[in-house]
Amino acid sequence: MKLPLENIVVVELGHSVAAPIAGLVLAELGATVIKIENPEGGDDARNWGPPFLHGAAGMFQAINRNKRSATIDLKDESERETLRRYIVDHADVVVQNMRPGLVERYQLDAVSLRKHKPSLIYCNLTAFGADGPLKHMPGYDPLLQAFGGLMSVTGHEGAEPVRTGPSIIDQGAGMWAVIGILAALIRRKDTGEGCEVNTSLFETALSWMCMATAMYLASGNVPKRVGSENGGMAPYKAYQATDGWVVIAAANDNLFRRFSQAVGHPEWADDPDMSSNSNRVRNREKVNALVADVIRTKPRQYWIDTLAAASVPCAPLQSLDEVLNHPQTRAVGMLQTSTDGKFQLMGLPLQFDGIRPAFRKNPPALAEDNDLLLPGNAVRRTTA
């Protein structure tokens, strides 16, 4: 399958998670992505373990497959010049999340590079954004989950703050970077001009809070932590069965009526406290208590089967081993095996004409592609 970005060359001045996620998606879509690393140990994420997988931390391997690795000592002017020359001669895109101020110091910033190559698309992925009093501050996912408000609405009221398990700020920022880069590539086809794209962890956090923000601005009530619930619907949460948890989402009046009948309490749908979603939200504690009393009487699978038969949305709360062993996971083919057959990683959640981009190349060993940057070496715009 010909991938959509096969003729695009990307230089990833990235480390940790956010920029490498952007590089991963671009590589999965077929771009030649050259990951620039510090010769002394490379990306910090290589050592974020145990567990380790095939020579590096599992976290690193998960987000760096289908890339190439070259090392540059950014303190060495001759090596910096090698990188600058490569970018100007060969690169279509640069994506970077280096410590604020470094790319400017080393003249690897958008202004310095686009002066010599106006068609270059340059994406800055910072912690707090391009402007404001915190623009020079570094940041990590949990810091921005806290600062951006996500922790204030995650977990249970009165309990210790918790972060969302996956690094959704880092991963979301990487995705926004890709969206901006793809939009800039489309515009470049029409104009021939590149541009500077900016996104940040903080702006990503704010975007995740869009619905909570709208609810606050509409009501004046600061959102609280509501566990697995949604503030605007009920019943819409996890309930405990005899052997596990079931998430039930009776998100409108018709679904609630079907739910009530399925669990043996059709009278609930006619109770004035529960006859409409608005009333159920206002009387959330009553609704949840009644539902919980019923659900705790039977095993998880009983409720999954019963509610599915009534076309009421529901799902078991699964552990990761259950998720990976589920036939639906196998059917969609997201878990892909390396070309040498030695390990598996999660693939891209996209298909083109029914085909998912393949696991084409193992995550790179540090510096294994240094020859790509040497003068006289032709850039390899390939998917192999």
In the chain, DSSP finds a helix count (H) and a strand count (E) of 15, 13
- 170 has catalytic annotation: yes
Bridge partners (DSSP) listed for residue 190 = none
CA atoms within 13 A on the CB side of 7: 2
Bridge partners (DSSP) listed for residue 71 = 37
Give the pair of three-digit tokens for residue 342: 């030695």
Longest dimension (CA), the chain: 79
| Contacts of 38 by beta carbon, 8 Å cutoff, 6+ apart | 71, 73, 74
Q: Measure the CA–CA gap between 168 and 202, rounded to whole angstroms.
A: 12
Q: Measure the CA–CA gap between 74 and 77, rounded to whole angstroms.
A: 7
Catalytic one among 170, 243, 253, 305? 170
- b/e burial code for range 53-62 (CB count within 10 A of at least 16 → b): beebbbbbbb
Q: Measure the CA–CA gap between 202 and 270, rounded to whole angstroms.
A: 45
Q: Measure the CA–CA gap between 273 and 286, rounded to whole angstroms.
A: 8
Q: Measure the CA–CA gap between 261 and 253, rounded to whole angstroms.
A: 12
Q: Are 370 and 34 in contact, with CB atoms under 8 Å apart?
A: no
**Long-range pairs for 346-355 at CB < 8 Å and ≥24 separation?**
346/62, 347/28, 348/25, 348/28, 348/29, 350/28, 352/1, 352/3, 352/4, 353/1, 355/1
Q: Measure the CA–CA gap between 177 and 354, rounded to whole angstroms.
A: 25
> Active-site positions?
170
